[in-house]
Amino acid sequence: MFTGTTIWSEQQWLLYGNISASSSFICIHLPRSTSNLPADEGSKTTMRNEENLFFTGEPENPLAAQRKLLQAAGAALPFSPLKVLSSGEPCILFQARKLSLRFEKQRPVDLTELTFSPQKLVDTRESLCQQDKATLVMRFGDVEELRGLSIRFQLSNTFYESSGQWWFSVDRVSVSYNTSEEVVFNATDVYAPASSSYRCLHVSSLQRYSGLLLPSTEHAQRWAITFIDFQVSNNVLPYGAPEPAPPPSICWR
């Protein structure tokens, strides 16, 4: 049971509110200059036991915190989250109000409907969920002048003894097109407790949006990728129908 306000300097998160069946918490992620997760003087376990991933709807039980991709009240998104299944259960949930891609000064390519619309659902069959990492692969096919366009998220799960929690992070976002071309963006500060989900108004390679996605090469600097109202959750394995759960960790941008 959590009550009051906790400042966790090690992760630079602020935790407000109460964790109970009728109330919830918000983590506000303060910006910083580096992307490293908390240093762990003890052993770092990178393998998560499958049985520890299952949560029910009782927040008082540390193994019972129903995880669900959530959105702020009054900010309904036009489409449902994109789901990746593993053994019939969701292992990745991804949602955004808008997803756009742009090369230099050309007109942006809006991929929102292609990603989330039930009528034009993107191909995610190459996505993979493992105990210590996950990959979300979205294949769009030919989009305007981009042939064989795909976007790939590389995520990882790590247990930190210093915090006593599992955390997941988005490590890289890559864009592939025209058969052999690829641009890679290294993600910074895109992480959250595994019992929650990560949400940020802007996750983008553009500096005016805080530049959470850093181009890895000079060629990648010619591209811009932007997610508006971005939200992702990794290894979500709920029992039955979704129930109310703690809201996502929210970045301060």
Q: Among residues 235, 246, 234, which one has the least CA distance to residue 58? A: 246
Average pLDDT over residues 110-139: 92
Of 59-73, 79-93, 189-203, 205-219, least confident by mean pLDDT is: 59-73
Which residue matches tokens 């918490």? 25
Cα separation of the two ends of the chain: 29
Interval 56-80: pLDDT, tens = 233 333 333 333 444 344 456 778 8
pLDDT classification of 121: cutoffs 50, 70, 90: confident
Q: How far apart are CA 142 and CA 163, in angstroms?
A: 44
- pLDDT value of position 143: 95
Q: How far apart are CA 34 and CA 162, in angstroms?
A: 19
- pLDDT value of position 17: 35
- pLDDT value of position 249: 55
Average pLDDT over residues 238-249: 42
- pLDDT value of position 232: 94
Residues 6+ apart with CB under 8 A from 108: 100, 101, 102, 224
Query: Measured between alpha carbons, how far is residue 78 from residues 61, 226, 234 in Å?
Result: 34, 17, 22
pLDDT classification of 234: cutoffs 50, 70, 90: confident
Phi and psi at 119, nearest 5°, equal -80, -20
- pLDDT value of position 110: 97
Which residue matches tokens 């069959």? 125
Contact 183, 223 (CB under 8 A): yes
- pLDDT value of position 59: 33
Per-domain residue ranges for the chain?
Answer: 5-32+44-251
Residues of the chain above pLDDT 90, percent: 47
CATH topology of domain 5-32+44-251: Porin (2.40.160)
- pLDDT value of position 30: 40
